[in-house]
Structure 1
Amino acid sequence: MGKSDDKAKQIPYKMLENDAYSKWLGIQILDVKEGYCQLKMQIRKDMLNSMKKAHGGITYALADTAFGFACNTYGKKAVSIESSINHIEALEEGDILIAESDVKSQKNKLGFYIVEIKKDNQLVALFKGVTYRTNVDWEI
Structure 2
Amino acid sequence: MFDADVASRGLGIELVDAGDGTARARMRVTAAMVNGHGIGHGGYVFLLADTAFALACNSHGPPTVAAGGEISFLRPVRAGDVLTATATERVRHGRNGIYDVTVRRGDEVVAEFRGRSRTLGRGVVPPA
For the criterion TM > 0.5, the same-fold answer is yes
| CA–CA separation in structure 2 for the residues paired with 1:94 and 1:76 | 36
| CA–CA separation in structure 1 for the residues paired with 2:53 and 2:90 | 12
Confirm or deny: 8 A CA contact 1:77 1:136 kept in the other structure.
no
Give runs of aligned pairs for residues 76-95 of structure 1, distance below 5 A.
76-95=62-81
Q: For residues 77 and 136 of structure 1, do their structure 2 counterparts lie closer, same or farther at Cα, with a shift above 3 Å needed?
A: farther
Aligned to 2:119: 133
| CA–CA separation in structure 1 for the residues paired with 2:85 and 2:111 | 9
Aligned to 1:99: 85
Tell me the percent identity.
30
C-alpha displacement of 1:120:
1.3
Aligned to 1:122: 108
Aligned to 2:56: 70
| Most deviating of 84-93 and 15-24 | 15-24
1:54-104 CA distances to partner (integer Å, 9 max, x unpaired)? 000000000001101110111101111111000000000000001000000
Structure with a larger share of its residues in helix? 1
C-alpha displacement of 1:16:
2.0
Aligned to 1:5: none
Confirm or deny: 8 A CA contact 1:78 1:134 kept in the other structure.
yes
1:49 aligns with 2:49: no
Amino acid at match of 1:29: L
| CA–CA separation in structure 1 for the residues paired with 2:113 and 2:33 | 19
Q: Which runs of 4+ in 1 moved over 6 A?
A: none
Aligned to 2:20: 34
Aligned to 2:96: 110
Q: What RMSD in Å do the two structures reach over aligned CA positions?
A: 1.3
1:119-139 CA distances to partner (integer Å, 9 max, x unpaired)? 01111000001100123588x
1:39-63 CA distances to partner (integer Å, 9 max, x unpaired)? 1110000011011110000000000
Consecutive unaligned residues in structure 2, runs of 5 or more = none
